[in-house]
Amino acid sequence: MKHIQSKDWQFYAIVLAFSVVVGLITGNMNKDKVPSAAVPAQSETAAAETPAATGVTVAKRAETGTGVTVVKADDYAEQYPLQYTSYRMNDENDEVVEYTEANPYIQKLYEGYGFAHSYGSARGHTYVITDLSATGRPHKLANCYTCKTSSFTAKVLNDGDSAYAMAFDDFTDSVEDPFGCFHCHANGVGDGTITVTHGYLTNAVADDFEKIDAANLSCGQCHSEYYFDPETKATSFAYKGLANMTPDLMLEYENNLTDSEGNMFADWVDEDTGVRKLKVQHPEFETFLGEGSPHGGPNAVMSLTCADCHMPQKTADDGTVYTSHYWVSPLDDQDLLNNTCAKCHKDLASEVAAIQKETTDRENQLGEALAQLDSDLAAAIAEGRIEGQDLEDIRMTVRNAQWFWDFVYVENSEGVHNQQLTKHCLDKAEEYIKQANAMLQ
């Protein structure tokens, strides 16, 4: 299933001349960009310098508490016409699939939580605010704005975690820049330097910040698994450092979290079964950089970044090479496939289709089995056939099963980012479902 939480240049007075040297640096595809001296100074960026590591483009970290205001995407239209025009193309990516209709079993799995009523697939970045308002899911706190508007990103940088606990409606009038350049470049677009403005990601990757390519971090700010801290309501990640960024260890982390009443952390509690359920959110970052990923994992065959595949290099009519800011499938870019992928992938579209079919077939089969398990457990409880410690054990098993299933269901590539990790998660879900069914006998 493809979804994010919501549901998720004509003025050449300023010369924009970048010589982009696309080079294979130690089997890596990071690009060296040489900005032209004609590029003017940007409005002041709140960013700190970080030491460089070999083969990795290192991002900057945004500074906090600086009273920063956002330079809006539209304000860059004249200065960066190529990037801005490609960014506006996201408006064309406007298709939405309603998953509650496509996969009715999720109404059971997410019962009691907003996603059971409305769960739209992801579409273009420029739709994030429209889609957020239209979800039909209730929004209580401003933390829902975390991945939707740079106006909120700036608010958190200025005010700290207290911003997350604001009432949703109290922030709505402050939304000025739906999905802005600010998320990835702060106010200093310059030569395309990436500044990580979402501090929870900086905290989560901790000492590994310099080891992760800037482009991967730019997307990981939103295309990642998070939860809202039960006390502060702050957007938080269930890991510290890359070694702890596995679905298994993240589950263990969330299973060990408690709320103010001492209960095990839950996104919601299923009324019929009492299972304290967790909702995974679009873990593209964790999946792509995880063990087994041929282009993103620790033992990658060939390291590529999210931008290499989703933001290919384009050549304008005047010969200027620039990075496309139209975030779509790499399969939509024949030049990329021919020039970069074809030497190893003769027919990537078929490979992708095969992986996605295998993934969704199994995801649906296990989703149905999990929904059946929910119903069977509810019936067993209603009839008094299970109670006490046996009931607690089975609830825990169902919670774990749904976590591993959801980790794949909500990952937008449908297995393509990392077949091995996808298979691992589905195997774990299947194992837990079997265990729970055996416990019900």
Task: Scan residues 408-437 and list those touching ligand HEC (CB under 6 A).
Answer: 412-413, 416-419
What is the size of the binding site for ligand HEC (CB under 6 A)?
Answer: 78
58 binds ligand HEC (CB under 6 A): no
Residue 122 in contact with ligand HEC, rule: CB under 6 A: yes
User: Contact at 8 Å (CB) between 78 and 11?
Assistant: yes
* Residue 274 CA neighbour count, 13 Å, CB half: 16
> Which part of the chain contacts ligand HEC (CB under 6 A), choosing from 158-166, 216-224, 387-395, 426-434?
216-224
Candidates 218-226, 248-256, 365-373, 391-399; binding stretch for ligand HEC (CB under 6 A): 218-226
Looking at beta carbons only, is 87 or 115 nearer to ligand HEC?
87
**Selected binder of ligand HEC within 4, 46, 212, 371 (CB under 6 A):** 4
Binder among 242, 309, 366, 401 for ligand HEC (CB under 6 A): 309
**Site membership for ligand HEC, residue 188 (CB under 6 A):** no
Q: Which is nearer to ligand HEC, 4 or 401 (CB)?
A: 4
Nearer to ligand HEC, 127 or 403 (CB): 127
Choose the stretch contacting ligand HEC; rule: CB under 6 A; options: 73-81, 134-142, 225-233, 397-405. 73-81
Instruction: Decide: is 60 part of the binding site for ligand HEC (CB under 6 A).
Output: no
CB nearer to ligand HEC: pick between 179 and 404: 179
Which of 300, 379 has the CB closer to ligand HEC? 300
- 54 vs 260 by CB, closer to ligand HEC: 54
Positions in 351-410 near ligand HEC (CB under 6 A): 352
219 binds ligand HEC (CB under 6 A): yes
Angle, CA 12 vertex, CA 9 and CA 17 arms, to 5°: 95
The nearest distance, CB 211 to ligand HEC, in angstroms, is: 14
69 within 8 A of 44, measured Cβ to Cβ = no
Residue 297: φ, ψ to 5°: -80, 175
Please choose, out of 110-118, 241-249, 286-294, 399-407, the segment that lies near ligand HEC by the rule CB under 6 A: 286-294
C-alpha to C-alpha distances, 247 to 280, 312, 418, 435, nearest whole angstrom: 10, 29, 13, 19
- Candidates 270-278, 317-325, 389-397, 425-433; binding stretch for ligand HEC (CB under 6 A): 317-325
CB-side neighbour CA atoms (13 Å) of 138: 4
DSSP secondary structure string, 229-287?
-TTT--EE-S-SSGGG-SHHHHHHHHHT-B-TTSPBP-SEE-TTT--EE------HHHH
301 is a site residue for ligand HEC (CB under 6 A): yes
Can residue 306 be called a binding residue for ligand HEC (CB under 6 A)? yes
What string marks each residue from 10 to 49 as x (binds ligand HEC by CB under 6 A) or -?
--------x------------x-x----------------
CA distance 188 to 196: 12
Classify residue 96 by its DSSP letter.
Answer: -
Query: CA 35, CA 32: separation in Å to the nearest integer?
Result: 10
Sign of CA dihedral 59, 65, 69, 72: positive
What's the rounded Cα separation, in Å, for the pair 364 and 105?
Answer: 9
DSSP letters, 383-407, are: TT-S-HHHHHHHHHHHHHHHHHHHH
Amino acid at 341: C
Please tell me whether residue 114 binds ligand HEC under the rule CB under 6 A: no
The CB-of-439 to ligand HEC minimum distance in angstroms stands at 33
User: DSSP letters along 105-135, please?
Assistant: HHHHHTTTSGGGT--BPP--GGGHHHHHHHS
Instruction: Indicate the SS3 state at residue 58.
Output: coil
Cα separation, 419 vs 360, whole angstroms: 12
Work out which of 183, 276, 362, 399 binds ligand HEC, going by CB under 6 A: 183
